[in-house]
Amino acid sequence: LGLWGGAWVAGRLIDYSFGFRSAVSAAQVALASAAVEAKGNMPNGVGVVKLMGRSSGYIASYATIANGSVDLCLVPEVPVELEGPRSCLKHLEHVVEQKGHAVVVVAEGAGEEMLGSTTEGAVDAGGNKKLPEIGPYMVKRIVEHFRALGKEATVKYIDPSYTIRSVPANSDDAFYCHTLGSGAVHGVMAGFTGFSVGLVNNHTVMIPIPALVSKSPRTLRPEGRTWDRVVRITGQPRYVPGPTLTEDKRVPE
């Protein structure tokens, strides 16, 4: 039949994939827990949450924007700078000095340019390339940074990966899946094959599978509005200079 509905493969052609909004919503529980732990260990309390995002920082970014209380967000598309006056550790130092606590969000694929790739050809049980452990590494570096200042930081690490993967679809995603399913049935009844159904500019459309896969995965543009909103909420240094008022494009430049 050739009908496909890739869930986490959000190609650049579509607005977003089903499950995305449920994941962002589920992440709020982990972020709230990290905030409670950080506040409960003041002064110098830090909560670190690792969220899904091997190649793209959309879940981490949207969760950060939706939460509004995150102080640092690290994503694969933006290089992680740990040293220097505009580094993320220096930023955390200032935040903790002012508030007594901080919350950090890291996408699982962040910092690969800093930590390096794992052994060539190493993959996990799902066949995906194994990534460096950015979460525990950040915990270690945060503790070391504050210790160098003569302070003891209490850092709590939360990895809700499978908790988020296993949540039921929220009402928005349930409605979205119904719409996609209806579109798929209509396409098949009309005699089309080799296509997927997705939302493009808020319209349900049929997309040839090769065209969809060739544009995947969709990555965050560091000079786009989404990342601009993250930086303005967290107050963290902007590592990638450039225009900040352009929309995230759905096709490569």
> 3-class SS at 178?
helix
Phi, psi of 92 (to 5 degrees): -60, -40
pLDDT in the model for residue 246: 42
What average pLDDT does the chain have? 85
CA angle 74, 109, 102 (to 5 degrees): 30
pLDDT in the model for residue 14: 82
In angstroms, the CA 118 to CA 33 distance is: 30
Q: 170-176 long-range CB contacts below 8 Å, 24 or more apart? A: 170/21, 170/22, 170/25, 172/21, 172/22, 173/18, 173/19, 173/20, 173/21, 173/22, 176/18, 176/21
The answer to whether residues 166 and 189 touch, using CB atoms and an 8 Å cutoff, is no
Kindly report, residue by residue over 44-57, the tens digit of the pLDDT. Answer: 999 999 999 888 89
pLDDT in the model for residue 129: 73
Question: 217 pLDDT band (50/70/90 cuts)?
Answer: confident
Least confident of 44-48, 64-68, 176-180, 236-240: 236-240
DSSP 196-253: EEEEETTEEEEEEHHHHHHT-S----TTBHHHHHHHHHH-----S-S-SSBPPPSS--
Helices 134-148 & 88-99 angle (0-180, nearest 10) = 60
User: Average of pLDDT values for 82-89?
Assistant: 89
Question: 251 pLDDT band (50/70/90 cuts)?
Answer: very low
Residue 124, token pair as written in the block? 């996990």
Choice between 12 and 142, residue whose per-residue pLDDT is larger: 142
pTM of the model: 0.83
User: Average of pLDDT values for 89-98?
Assistant: 95
Please, where are the H alpha helices in 100-190?
112-115, 134-148, 161-165, 171-189
pLDDT in the model for residue 114: 81
pLDDT in the model for residue 78: 93
pLDDT in the model for residue 127: 67
Question: 197 pLDDT band (50/70/90 cuts)?
Answer: very high
Least confident of 6-15, 23-32, 135-144: 6-15
What lies within 8 Å, CB to CB, of 198 at 6+ separation is 11, 13, 14, 15, 17, 180, 204, 205, 207, 212
Residue 86 has pLDDT above 90, yes or no: no
In angstroms, the CA 92 to CA 82 distance is: 10
Least confident of 14-28, 156-170, 213-227: 213-227
